[in-house]
C-alpha cells in the first residue's frame, strides 16, 4: 500500500491494435518496456487513454494478466474498472492488478444516490483489494463525490487515494493527509510542487516518459514545463469540442502521434479517428522542436497520409 500511495508518475497507457482490430500484445509489451526503461513507476491499464469504452471487462482482465506474466513486479499495474456494475468487479483482483481504479456508478447502477450509499458502494469495492477513486466533473457530476465521503473512505485500509482534476480539491486532500493525483499533464508540475499532489496519471507519458520523469522528480523546473507546454496543448486542444465528444478529446491526437512515431500500427477503433493533416504536421514540428530522442520509439517521425490509417468497428459490449 505504501508503494501505491507514493507513485509519482503513472502513465495512462494507450491500447494498441493489430490490423484486424485485436489488441496488439507485442506492441503493448514494447510500450511497457519503454515506460520501465524511462523510470515510470506504474501504468493505468484500460483507462480513458486505454480506450475503456471499446474494451470489455473480460478484455481488461486478460490484458492485465498478460502484463503481469510479461513484466512481473517491474511496474505497478492499476486496472481501470470504471463504472462497470459492482457484480462484475468481484474478479478484478483475480488477474494480478496491484490496484483498481473506480468512478461513481451511474444512477441506474446499484441505485446509488446518497452519501451513505456511496460509502457502502465503495467500501464493498475496497473490500476486494487496493482501490483508487477517480473524481472529475464528467464522471461524478450526476451523483457527486462530497469531501465527507472521501474522508470517510480514506479510513478504509484498502483506500489508496483519489484521482482529481481540480487543484483546489487536491490542496484540501493533501492538507488532510489524503493522497491525490492529478490527471492533467499541463497542470502536473504546478500541482505537484505547489499544491501537494502525490503525482500524475499522465497521457503525455506515452510520448515523452523520460521528460515527464524529469519534470516531476527533480524539483521545480519552469523551463522544462514551458518546453513541454506546446505538446500538452496539442494533446488537449479544446477547440471545436463539445461535452458530447469530450470523452475522445485526447485519444485521436495520442493515437495519431504514436502512429506517426512508428510505435503503434495506425489502427483506430471507432469512435476514435485520426486528427487532421494540419495537426499531423504540427506534431512532426513539435517532435523536431523538443527533440526526437526525447520521444518513444526509434523510427523517424513522419506525417501519415489518410490512406495509411485503418478504422475498425468494434462491438463495445
Residues annotated as catalytic are 134, 163
Report d(CA 61, CA 71) in Å as an integer.
Answer: 15
Taking CA atoms, 209 is separated from 12, 137, 204, 225, 289, in Å, by 11, 27, 7, 14, 17
- Rounded Cα distance between 25 and 67, Å, is 9
- Residue 109 falls in which region: left (phi positive, over 0), alpha (psi -120 to 50) or beta: beta
Query: HSE of 12 in the Cβ direction (CA atoms, 13 Å)?
Result: 26
Rg (CA), the chain: 19
**What is 74-142 written as a DSSP string?**
SSEEEEEEET--GGGGGGTTTT--SEEEE-PPPTTSTT--SHHHHHHHHHHHHTTS-EEEEE-TTTSTT
Q: Which residues pair with 11 in a beta bridge?
A: 43, 202
Question: Which of 143, 163, 11 lies closest to 77, judged by CA?
Answer: 11
Distances in Å between the Cα of 280 and the Cα atoms of 129, 240, 261, 286, 304 are: 42, 17, 11, 10, 7
Helix (H) or strand (E) holding 234: helix 222-235
Encode 169-199: b = buried (16+ Cβ within 10 Å), e = exposed: bbebbbeeebbbbbbbbbbbbbbbbebbbbb
Amino acid at each position: 500500500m505504501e508503494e501505491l500511495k507514493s507513485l509519482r508518475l503513472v502513465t495512462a497507457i494507450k491500447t494498441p491494435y493489430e490490423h484486424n482490430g485485436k489488441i496488439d500484445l507485442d506492441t503493448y509489451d514494447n510500450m511497457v518496456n519503454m515506460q520501465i526503461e524511462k523510470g515510470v513507476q506504474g501504468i493505468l491499464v484500460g483507462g480513458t487513454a486505454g480506450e475503456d469504452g471499446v474494451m470489455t471487462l473480460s478484455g481488461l482482465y486478460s490484458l492485465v494478466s498478460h502484463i503481469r506474466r510479461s513484466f512481473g513486479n517491474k511496474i505497478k499495474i492499476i486496472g481501470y474498472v470504471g463504472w462497470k456494475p459492482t457484480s462484475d468487479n468481484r474478479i478484478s483482483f483475480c488477474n494480478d492488478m496491484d490496484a483498481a481504479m473506480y468512478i461513481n456508478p451511474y444512477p441506474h447502477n446499484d441505485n446509488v444516490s446518497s452519501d451513505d450509499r456511496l460509502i457502502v458502494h465503495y467500501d464493498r469495492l475496497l473490500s476486494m483489494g487496493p482501490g483508487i477513486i477517480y473524481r472529475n466533473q464528467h464522471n461524478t457530476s450526476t451523483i457527486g463525490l462530497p469531501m465527507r465521503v472521501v474522508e470517510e473512505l480514506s479510513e478504509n485500509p484498502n483506500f489508496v487515494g483519489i484521482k482529481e482534476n481540480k487543484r483546489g480539491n487536491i490542496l484540501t486532500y493533501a492538507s488532510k493527509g489524503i493522497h491525490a493525483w492529478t490527471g492533467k499533464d499541463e497542470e502536473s508540475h504546478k500541482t505537484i510542487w505547489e499544491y501537494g499532489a502525490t503525482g500524475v496519471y499522465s497521457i503525455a507519458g506515452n510520448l515523452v516518459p523520460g521528460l515527464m520523469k524529469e519534470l516531476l522528480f527533480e524539483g521545480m523546473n519552469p523551463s522544462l514545463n514551458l518546453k513541454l507546454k506546446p505538446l500538452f496543448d496539442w494533446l488537449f486542444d479544446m477547440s471545436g469540442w463539445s461535452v458530447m465528444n469530450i470523452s475522445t478529446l485526447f485519444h485521436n491526437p495520442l493515437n495519431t502521434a504514436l502512429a506517426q512515431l512508428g510505435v503503434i500500427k495506425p489502427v483506430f477503433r471507432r469512435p476514435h479517428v485520426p486528427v487532421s493533416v494540419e495537426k499531423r504536421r504540427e506534431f512532426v514540428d513539435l517532435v523536431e522542436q523538443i527533440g526526437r530522442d526525447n520521444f518513444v520509439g526509434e523510427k523517424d517521425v513522419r506525417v501519415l497520409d489518410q490512406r495509411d490509417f485503418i478504422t475498425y468497428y468494434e462491438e463495445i459490449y
